[in-house]
Amino acid sequence: MVSDLELAKSLIPDVQLAGKAIMEIYHHQTEFEVKQDGSPVTKADLAAEEILLSALRRIRSDIPIISEENAQSHLLEPPTDFFLVDPLDGTKEFLKADGSGSFTVNIGLIRNNYPEMGIILAPALNRLFIGARNEGAFEYSYERFLPLMPRKLELENRIAIASTSHRDSQTDEWLLAHNVTKTIRAGSSVKFCLVASGEADFYPRFGPTMEWDTAAGDAILRAAGGMTYTSDDTQFQYGKDAYRNTAFIAKAQR
């Protein structure tokens, strides 16, 4: 049996293919549908999902898949092991096509309620991240795996990364209370990766998210040495009711 990190590496070509499908649509996307929860879904979401689900079924057909765009999968009771897939996180940023590039392709592996492996591609930024518990976290660049190193938390010069589309007063209050002196704005799960890579200390999120929005990035952050906590300082877990997240704080240091 291959390790979780080797599994992530084996998925890189398929994730890149999904990213290519997204970018082919990126500059020409004008139409989208609105799901029951009010969020948009585009042709890019569906094209990327088809590629990712096909790859996972080919490589690890024994592990169930919970995917954002497959509503039927949301009805499954959380198994012991399962994949969480978000083929296009940051759809609002994708639709804006404003040059920020803050949208991502995501695959996370959950085992016993905790994120074990993650792979994230930000195709417009040409950045790809992978990580697995006890095996490390890396940015894949020019066919090299570069280890991710989170920042060491200091009393001053604290940097946080906050949502572009979902910033709220609760986030602002948290930033003020924790002596954050600089805030970076970004969309999608790439925020976890920026904490894991040492570009920020914190990513606080108080608004609603789903588990497929966070699983891959959370796994990468933990593999790099960081941690994601609930608002009462317990480790963030997965397999919750309807796969809905509560508030969380992603931190560079445990």
What CATH number is associated with residue 69?
Answer: 3.30.540.10
140, 172: one domain:
no
Q: Is residue 204 part of a domain?
A: yes
- Predicted pLDDT of residue 153: 86
- Predicted pLDDT of residue 168: 81
Name the more confident of 159 and 70. Answer: 159
Confidence of residue 167 (pLDDT cuts 50, 70, 90): confident
Alpha carbon of residue 153 to chain centroid = 22
- How confident is the model over 187-221, as pLDDT tens digits? 899 999 999 999 999 999 999 999 999 999 999 99
Choose the final residue of a domain: 87, 120, 147: 147
- The answer, yes or no, to whether residue 82 has pLDDT greater than 60, is yes
Choose the final residue of a domain: 90, 125, 147: 147
Using a 10 angstrom Cβ sphere, with 0-12 exposed, 13-18 middle and 19 or more buried, the burial of residue 42 is buried
Q: What is the mean pLDDT of residues 180-187?
A: 92
Instruction: Report the half-sphere exposure of 198 (CA within 13 A, side-chain side).
Output: 10
- How far is it, in rounded angstroms, from Cα 20 to Cα 153? 36
Residues above pLDDT 90, as percent of the chain: 74
- How confident is the model over 6-32, as pLDDT tens digits? 999 999 999 999 999 999 998 776 566
Which of 28-37, 144-153, 179-188 is predicted least confidently? 28-37
- Residue pair 113/230 in contact (Cβ under 8 Å)? The answer is no
- How far is it, in rounded angstroms, from Cα 16 to Cα 1? 24
100, 222: one domain:
no
- How far is it, in rounded angstroms, from Cα 203 to Cα 184? 10
N- to C-terminal Cα separation, the chain: 30
The tokens describing 167, both together, are 């910033």
Confidence of residue 38 (pLDDT cuts 50, 70, 90): low
- Residue pair 66/73 in contact (Cβ under 8 Å)? The answer is yes
Task: Please name the helix (run of DSSP H) or strand (run of DSSP E) that holds residue 22, with its range, or none.
Answer: helix 4-26
51, 126: one domain:
yes
- Predicted pLDDT of residue 192: 98
Across the chain, what does the average pLDDT equal? 92
Identify the domain containing residue 244 by its residue range.
158-251
Q: Is residue 153 part of a domain?
A: no
172, 221: one domain:
yes
- The answer, yes or no, to whether residue 232 has pLDDT greater than 80, is yes
In total, how many domains does the chain have?
Answer: 2
Q: Is residue 152 part of a domain?
A: no
Which segments of the chain does DSSP mark as H helices, in order? 4-26, 43-59, 91-96, 169-177, 190-196, 211-224
Q: What is the CATH number of the domain that holds 184?
A: 3.40.190.80
- For 40, other C-beta atoms within 10 Å of its C-beta total 15
Name the more confident of 93 and 111. Answer: 111
- Predicted pLDDT of residue 72: 74
Residue with tokens 């589309």: 165
